[in-house]
Amino acid sequence: MARTIAAGIGIMEYPFDTASGFWKWIDLCEAGGIDSIWQTDRLVSKQPILECMTALAAIAGRTQRIKFGVNVVSVAMREPLLLAKQCATLDFLSSGRLLPGFGIGSPRGPEWTAMHLDPKTRGRKTDEALEIIARLWAGEKLDYAGKYFQLTGASIAPLPVQPDLPMWIGGSSDAAVARTAKYGTGWQSGAETPETVGKVIAAIKTAVVAAGRTIDEDHYGAALAYRFGSWDDAGMPKLAAAYEARTGRDAREAFAIGDADLIMNRLAEYVEAGACKFILRPVAQGDAEMYDQTKRLVEEILPRMAARWPKPAKRAA
């Protein structure tokens, strides 16, 4: 299958000064041809962060074209029946624009302590939850007796509009690879380097064959923070330090800071590694900066992506 290279846009912390600035940004993304909008999942934080499922519902009501998703829902912190219902409702009311992404949650997250949850169980809880969600989306009336979740006669309606609602899995560990091979219809990286992304994609492809399943070549994603500017811009040291404290990763390896050529070259490294769907996160603060960084993405990057990686021609019926 020929790949389609597409650019979505994402936020984690709420970087806007006002709610009106957020909606102006959403309108720009919708009109500017950006493929999708992504919200990070975080329940406990000192900085303002939108609750992901509520934010997607609001975005769905504001827009008509753009797709939207979470990168990624921390499944082990949520009740799977409710999460399955929320996703189905969003997909139904948006005419099939939801892109659900699921993961186990970062062990660095403050939620584990705040909610008295055991992070050591998050992988096994996520596996149970993904099975429940997939079966509910398929329309089953479900009896389930797991270690962490129990259901009797559970079902949801309406079902998702998309007959095979995508289930994108996040994470780069061996367990995440196995989880993707067993449940996923796609894989979405976090802030991994192109080298790591390539290794994970190769491992997933091997695991998928062993599991007797298939994942489209078109369904591997990468995430990348970008900024038109320089590392000396006001606020950059603080943003880089916050990122490194949160993730333990070097911001200079994870961010693409520079001009359009630099950003395109970084995207090309990920494409070469096997990724084709991107979540590009503006490194910006405030209404004006977020709008400007996104406008430049629309005007300087999207046309170059379309020219360099044109969409495959549709096969005639």
pLDDT at 1: 53
Amino acid identity of residue 214, one-letter, is: T
Q: Which of 130, 135, 131 is nearest to 155 (CA)?
A: 135
Decide: 91 and 79 in contact? Cβ < 8 Å.
Answer: no
Domain boundaries, the chain: 6-308
Q: Which of 204, 73, 93 is nearest to 133 (CA)?
A: 73
Q: Give the model's confidence band at 163: pLDDT under 50 very low, under 70 low, under 90 confident, else very high.
A: confident
Homologous superfamily of the 6-308 domain (CATH): Luciferase-like domain (3.20.20.30)
pLDDT at 244: 84
Q: Which of 145, 214, 176 is nearest to 75 (CA)?
A: 176
What are the pLDDT digits (tens) for 2-30?
789 999 999 989 999 999 999 999 999 99
pLDDT at 317: 43
Helix residue ranges, H only, the chain: 19-32, 52-62, 80-93, 111-114, 122-137, 174-183, 194-210, 236-247, 251-254, 260-273, 287-296, 302-308
- The kind and range of the H/E element at 145 are strand 142-145
Q: Which of 62, 72, 138, 137 is nearest to 109 (CA)?
A: 72
Q: Which residue has tokens 């429940």?
A: 132
What are the pLDDT digits (tens) for 25-38?
999 999 999 999 99
pLDDT at 140: 97
And the tokens for 7? 């650019």
Please, which residues have CB within 8 angstroms of residue 157's CB and are 6 or more apart in sequence?
none
* CA–CA separation, 22 and 50 (whole Å): 11
pLDDT at 164: 81
pLDDT at 315: 55
Decide: 224 and 253 in contact? Cβ < 8 Å.
Answer: no
- Phi, psi (degrees; rounded to nearest 5) at 63: -115, 170
